[in-house]
Structure 1
Amino acid sequence: MATGMPPTLRQRRLGSELRKMRERAGLSSTAAAAHVGVQQARMSMIEAGRYAVSADRVRALAHTYACDDTDLVEALAAMTGGRGRAWWDEYRELLPAALVEVAEFEHHATALRVAVVVAMPGLLQTLDHVRASLRQDVPALRPHEIEHWASFRIKRQAVLYREPETTYTAIVHEAALRMGVGGPEVKRRQLEHLILMGERSNVKVLVVPFERADFPISGQPISYASGPVPQLDTVLLDSDHGCDLLDAEAKLARYRCVLDRMEACALSSGKSRDFIRRVVRST
């Protein structure tokens, strides 16, 4: 059935993958609709994520498109159904839509890998650090807006504590460790929290020292979310104008390569914790 609310990130991705599958089969949306006995307008809505489809419908479409990738088809079938309410929906009237989708992006990931140069990884920030960083936003946020944004960021961190565990790898440049967001005490507690989180079994914090001149610097934070199958991976780029989500195969391959190079420049987990401890002592 058609949904009364804007499609979620997951619904849009399901529709997009069905469209890609149809195009690889060389079928028009009109021809595909005729094959499965629906109107062309409904097919367009399915591919836009605006019409809920069943798992059986996804399998029928895959059969029509001669897709024999069983793992992909079953992963897509698992994405079907009507839209249920998630915790981040309560923020849809309080925060920009693209920001709210970050929570959905993280929630459905089987693993997350991020790289930051001048900011702390969002899922590893303390509440004091979050508030201090939000006070620096331009244009300035009002006090109640800061609290909305801060509570949202903290709630996102629940993905690191759930079962089964989500693997989280954070590549953090030394520049981010040296930033004095919130002053010395807030900075010290943030760095100690980074050490503590890096000791969790599902979290790796990897530091890139200034001395690594071969580090492929990126001016924007990069987040890579692994899906249940590689075709459903997603890259999120965070910038001042908002968040960009990428899922084209060539772009996924590019950012995997970039993150691999960044990780190769980083210290090991143990040496990274020792490095952060030295920064704490100098704070």
Structure 2
Amino acid sequence: MEDSLSWGTDGPTLRTPRHTGATEHREDAMPGRPNPTLRQRRLGAELRRMREQAGLRGGELANLLGVSAAQVTQMENGKTSVNADRLRTIAAACKCTNEPLIEALVGFTTSHPKGWWERYRGTLSTGFLEVAEMEAHALKIYTWATTYVPGLQQTGAYASAVFARISPPLPQRDIDTRTAFRVQRQQALRSGGAPHVSFIHEAALRMQFGGRKVLAEQLDSLIEDSAAGACSVRVVPFDMDTFPGAGENIMFAEGLVPELATLQMDTAQGVLFFDAPADLASHRATFAQLDSLALPDDESRKFIRTIRGRYE
């Protein structure tokens, strides 16, 4: 999925001094960022959640901070920067005592170098970039694939075949760009990224994209990744007596604290992100169930080899 929050330069004071005269400066009149990133929006969502848990309306929090209600709205939409002092001031106003969460959010207020995915901005849709951003900031990544091998483990040929199936067909240059981006996501994760646990349903292992040769190479790649320890690959066979989750391919990215996890879901309409506590709790339960149902890594490799044997 690529993650979700906001950075900043706001002042730390609770009250904004009033000035008179034509040169008066209004902090809340500063223009907001037009396209906040997933991470910036997530910080805003956490600020909104903090305020709502305190039972405060936007205008009430604005009065406590000495700003306008419009600026509170912009902060909560990720469109206005929030620095560490302002964040702590908001937490104090909302009587939030969850120090691990506050400190984790402080990390979202500091500037970071632009990620490698920014080179694709304007070339790929925002959803692609946000998945890479989410992965870059994850503490641990879990995927659950039911229809095709997870993007983080797809070979170039398999990924290209997945993109080629889209209707109406994509131009070849778009397929090539999406494939290159997917391969770079894998490289970023393998060169020091978060640990990855991949749960794959047997259906996804048997579904052919690009023909028998492409699938055979994809299965070989899964076996190699698992054996090398690049990621944990756990197979859920057809004969299991249940099917955890709703059936979509999903990714669950753990944050520095449980509250900052992010769920990403692939749908026909595009990439969706979820961060509500109820959604996170529900899918944590799904992955706990998968952990109890799926074959261990060594048995999963044997299982994949058995399927691979059909394509000798």
Cα distance in 1 for residues equivalent to 2:189 and 2:217: 19
Match of 1:253 among 253, 258, 281: 281
The one-character-per-residue Cα deviations of 1:76-124 (angstroms, maximum 9, x if unpaired) are: 0100145753222232322222232111121111111111112001000
Equivalent residue, structure 1, for 2:90? 61
Which of 270, 273, 279 matches 2:298? 270
Distance 1:267 1:90, change over 3 A: same
Q: Percent same amino acid at aligned positions?
A: 38
Letter in 1 for 2:175: I
Structure 2 gaps of 5+ residues are 1-8, 10-30
Task: Indicate the residue corresponding to 1:138 in structure 2.
Answer: 167
1:189 aligns with 2:235: no
Distance in 2 between the 1:21 and 1:158 partners? 36
User: Is residue 2:180 matched to residue 1:154?
Assistant: no
Cα drift, residue 147 of structure 1: 0.9
Match of 1:241 in 2: 269
Of stretches 200-209 and 248-257 in structure 1, the one that deviates more from structure 2 is 200-209
2:202 to 174, 179, 189: 174
Distance 2:186 2:59 in 1: 43
Q: How does 1:19-30 map to 2 (within 5 A)?
A: 19-30=48-59
Aligned residue type for 2:300: S
2:43 aligned with 1:14, yes or no? yes
Match of 1:111 in 2: 140
Structure 1, unmatched stretches of 5+, are: none
Letter in 2 for 1:229: V
Matching residue of 2:13: none
| C-alpha contact (below 8 Å) 1:99/1:242 kept by paired residues | no
Give the drift of 1:189: 1.3
- Structure 1 ranges of 4+ moved more than 6 A: none
Shift of 1:202: 5.4
| Deviation at residue 3 of structure 1 after TM alignment | 4.7
1:204 is aligned, of 194, 217, 232, to: 232
Q: What's the CA shift for 1:131?
A: 0.9
Matched residue SS, 2:233 = strand
Return the alpha-carbon distance in structure 1 between the equivalents of residues 213 and 48 of structure 2. Answer: 52
Residue aligned with 1:214, SS = coil
| Distance (whole Å) between structure 1 residues aligned to residue 260 and residue 102 of structure 2 | 11
Q: How far, CA to CA, are the matches of 1:83 and 1:166 in structure 2?
A: 18
Which structure is larger by alpha-carbon Rg, 1 or 2? 2
Paired AA for residue 309 in structure 2? R
**What is the TM-score when the length of structure 1 is the normalising length?**
0.94
> 1:39 Cα shift?
2.3
**1:174–1:209 CA contact under 8 A, matched in 2:** yes
Kept in 2: contact 1:52–1:81 (CA 8 A): no
The residue type paired with residue 172 of structure 1 is I
Q: CA RMSD in A?
A: 1.7
Letter in 1 for 2:181: F
Choose 191-200 or 264-273, whichever is displaced more.
Answer: 191-200
